[in-house]
Each structure stands twice: as C-alpha cells, then as structure tokens.
C-alpha cells in the first residue's frame, strides 16, 4: 500500500495528483521550491517539504535535494508528474535506494526509453516502423547521415522531449548552424548534447496511444491527436484522433501494445507516432514513460483515472482493466492555456492573474493551479491550466470548446486564449485531421 505520497513536481499536475491521492485515502506531501511555497498545490497538500531556491536546477531538478525532501517527509512513494525528473533513471534509482517506491516504469525501461536511439532500436525489435535516419556521434557523422537521409530532416536530442534540442533543416548549407543550436539546447535542457538525424515528413500528423501495463499485461486506451504545435510543443490535443481510417487507428494501437508488451511495461505511458497525412502510414517516434500533459482527454472518453492506475500499479497490483473493458465514448479536446503572448512570437509572460474566470458546466473540465491572484513565476514552464471539453460527437466537442473559450477570462498577463479562439473557429480545425503545419496557415 501507499500511505504517504511525495509529489516531485509543481503546478497543475501536482494538484491533479493530490486530488486523486486524496480520493484514494493517501496522504500527500508536496516538494516545493521557494517560488511555489504559497502556491495552490502547496495549500492543498497535507504537507510541504521545501526542495530549494526558485531556479529548477537548484530545486526540482536537483536529485539530491528532492530525494532528501522525500526521505524527510516520511513518504513511502514518489510521484514525479511530467517533465523535471519524471523520466530520469538516475532519480528513480536514487529513490529506490532510499527505500521509497517510484511511481513509474522500471529503471530498465526508463533507461531504454530515455535514450531516443535506444528506444528506436527497441521499437524495431518489437516490429514497429521507424523513420529513416539514425545515430550521428560526430559532426562528420551528422553530415553523412544527413546526405543519406535527405532533406528536409530533423536533428533531435537523444535525451530529448518537449521539442527541446530539435531543429528542422531544409538545406545542407544550414546543417552546421542548426547542429550547433540543437546541441547547445540539448546540453542545457538535458545535460547531454548528443543528437541524431531523422527524416522530416512534410505533411505529418502527431498521433499517440495511451498505454497501461502491470509488467505482465498491457492494454491501450485509444489514440490522441496532438498535431497542432508550435516549435514542436503541443497546443491542442484531442481523443480519439479524428479523420483517420479505422484500419490506420487500429494499426497504431496494436503497434503500441506490442511495444509495451515487449518492454514488460509497468504504469502509464504514451507511444508517440508520426502519421503521414496523405497515406496514413505511421512511424514510431518515442515512448514517454510517464503521465502526459494531455492525459485528461483520454480520461474523458474512457472514464479511467490514469493517475489512480499509476498508483495501483506502483502498489504492485495487477491491472483489473482488460482491453475489452475499454470502450471510448464521444470525443474530447484539450487546449493548453499558457502565459505567453501568441502575437509576440509566444514570448513568455510571467506575472500575477488579476482576474481568473475559468469555464464550467456539462462536459467541461479545467485542470489549473491558477486562480484570482495566482502567480506564474518566471522560472518554469508557462502552463497556467488546461481546458478540456467532452461531447457525444466531435462536432459537439468543438462547439462546446468555442463556448467555453468565450467564457474564459484571464487578466493581468497575456495568455494563449485568443489564439485558441482563432483555432476553434478555423474551418480546417472544424473539419478535423489537420497536420503539424496548421499554425503556419492560421489567419
């Protein structure tokens, strides 16, 4: 059993985990930086343990400080949320060495999936298709691999995630500059400058599959489409992936389950694929060995609490869900409300919300840690909250999203809300099935 849970994260995901843990009768401890000492998650947790000063490098990313705080708290398990140390095998190993359970996959899985080249190799072993490209250890290797793969291509951080350490290259003469930028960003974000090369699909869709496993069995909970992105970071997610032939959707779902079974996967995870928008061929990209930001849309259509499933598996319990029990109903869409100015190249806009009115009502869910007077510190990700809508059909969900966005009012700092209002009114989005180039054509 888990009696006391330490949450090694912040913001809306920390609050999300607290709510499920409380419903399960589990005490919660929030590991908070000095900047988050008075945050809403800190107020909601049963206990707070400080993990250091505001900069994430001195708090949320400091393995020694986070482990020490978890030990001080008397917790018997740690939930890492997403981002920060959530997929860090060294952190999971340190937690285990302290006699505390890590709510997540086995260390071997974290090691295999944390290295994108290793993940690519494991996917091939499981029979999944991958994009042309591969390892490039030196600058000369990058040039050779690029010539072999062809342009356009992507440089991607081996330890990457969240679009960091990723650069699109359209011409050979731009390769060196892009490589320097990708390596510098990868080193700063992950402490590892290694990159690899992958072919860029001009009209691609980003489709992923939610997985659950207990180490002996694995199931999927359907697809999500996350194709509306800027700088390879997701802005809108929906479930199931719209405007896809049934055979293509089932093919991706079955491929994801094959990989989970090959890994003897434990907990919640997401297999991400690039789908060619012209012929629906698909290629494995990565497996995120954690809860995803966009998990609520899957919860909305399946009725499954994914955080609860994570905690149950961490307790050593077998899945009580079977594939036949997963019967998605309707359609769900999520938009990320970030403290960014979309009309100023998405410039971050930290500050205090002088007004924060979030929508409510039938088919509307809001996951946020920001209320009236809530502060977005300059040190962390700009996510303020997530607006999720659910409808019996996609058409109903789109209409509900439009109305919810009209009743969403945040003042005191710029947010991405106006952009989302433009997206939901765009005929291409209303039709469904847009590709990753959607934003470039948005009026």
Q: 391-426: per-residue pLDDT in tens?
A: 999 999 999 999 999 999 999 999 999 999 999 999
Q: What is the DSSP letter of 241?
A: P
**Mean pLDDT, rounded, for 352-371:** 96
The question of whether 290 is a catalytic residue gets the answer yes
Question: Could you report the per-residue pLDDT of 71-106, keeping only the tens digit for each?
Answer: 999 999 999 999 999 999 999 999 999 999 999 999
193-215 pLDDT tens trace: 889 898 888 889 999 999 999 99
- Tell the residue number behind the tokens 């994914």, with chain if given: 306
Each residue of 365-385: pLDDT tens digit? Answer: 999 999 988 999 999 999 999
What the chain holds in terms of domains, given with CATH numbers, is 4-103 (3.40.50.20), 132-199 (3.30.1490.20), 204-441 (3.30.470.20)
Mean pLDDT of 22-41: 97
pLDDT of amino acid 159: 83
- Catalytic residue, from 120, 205, 224, 290: name it: 290
Confidence category of residue 443, pLDDT binned at 50, 70, 90: low
Residue 12 CB partners (closer than 8 Å, separation 6+): 367, 368, 369, 383, 384, 385, 386
Question: Over the stretch 107-165, which tens digit does the pLDDT of each residue have?
Answer: 999 999 988 888 989 999 999 999 888 888 899 988 999 999 989 999 998 887 777 88
Spatial distance between the Cα atoms of 189 and 183, rounded to a whole number of angstroms:
10
Average pLDDT of every residue of the chain: 95
Q: 36 with 10: CB under 8 angstroms?
A: yes
Would the CA dihedral through 22, 24, 25, 31 be positive or negative?
A: negative
DSSP SS3 for 27: strand
Q: How confident is the model at residue 427 (pLDDT cuts 50, 70, 90)?
A: very high
Q: Tell me what pLDDT residue 372 has.
A: 86
Buried b or exposed e, range 404-433, using 16+ CB within 10 angstroms: bbeebebebbbbbbebbeebbeeeebeebe
Question: Locate tokens 């809108």: which residue?
Answer: 236
């Amino acid at each position: 059993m888990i009696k006391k849970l330490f949450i090694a994260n912040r913001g809306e995901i920390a609050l999300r985990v607290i709510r499920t843990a409380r419903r399960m009768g589990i005490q919660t401890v929030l590991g908070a930086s000095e900047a988050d000492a008075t945050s809403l998650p800190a107020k909601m947790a049963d206990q707070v343990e400080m993990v250091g000063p505001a900069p994430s490098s001195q708090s949320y990313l400091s393995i020694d400080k986070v482990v020490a705080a978890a030990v001080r708290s008397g917790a018997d398990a740690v939930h890492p949320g997403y981002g920060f140390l959530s997929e860090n095998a060294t952190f999971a190993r340190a937690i285990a060495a302290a006699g505390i359970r890590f709510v997540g996959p086995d260390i071997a899985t974290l090691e295999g999936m944390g290295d994108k080249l290793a993940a690519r190799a494991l996917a091939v072993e499981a029979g999944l298709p991958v994009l042309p490209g591969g390892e490039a250890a030196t600058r000369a290797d990058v040039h050779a691999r690029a010539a072999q793969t062809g342009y356009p291509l992507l440089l991607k951080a081996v330890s990457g995630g969240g679009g960091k350490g990723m650069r699109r290259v359209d011409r050979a003469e731009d390769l060196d500059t892009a490589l320097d930028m990708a390596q510098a960003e990868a080193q700063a974000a992950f402490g590892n400058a290694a990159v690899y090369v992958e072919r860029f699909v001009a009209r691609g869709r980003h489709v992923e599959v939610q997985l659950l496993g207990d180490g002996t069995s694995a199931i999927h909970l359907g697809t999500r489409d996350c194709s509306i992105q800027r700088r390879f970071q997701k802005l809108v997610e929906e479930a199931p992936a719209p405007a896809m032939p049934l055979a293509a959707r089932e093919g991706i779902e079955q491929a994801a389950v094959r990989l989970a079974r090959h890994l003897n996967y434990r907990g919640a995870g997401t297999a991400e694929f690039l789908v060619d928008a012209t012929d629906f061929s698909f290629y494995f990209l990565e497996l995120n060995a954690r809860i995803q930001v966009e998990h609520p849309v899957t919860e909305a259509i399946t009725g499954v609490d994914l955080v609860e499933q994570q905690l149950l598996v961490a307790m050593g319990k077998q899945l009580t869900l079977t594939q036949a029990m997963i019967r998605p109903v309707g359609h769900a869409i999520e938009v990320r409300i970030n403290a960014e100015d979309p009309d100023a190249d998405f410039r971050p806009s930290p500050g205090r919300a002088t007004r924060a009115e979030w929508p409510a009502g039938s088919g509307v869910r809001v996951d946020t840690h920001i209320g009236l007077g809530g502060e977005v510190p300059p040190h962390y990700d700009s996510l303020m909250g997530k607006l999720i809508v659910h409808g019996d059909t996609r058409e109903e969900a789109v209409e509900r999203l439009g109305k919810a966005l009209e009743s969403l009012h945040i003042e005191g700092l710029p947010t991405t809300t106006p952009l989302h209002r433009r997206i939901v009114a765009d005929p291409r989005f209303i039709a469904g099935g847009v590709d990753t180039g959607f934003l470039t054509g948005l009026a």
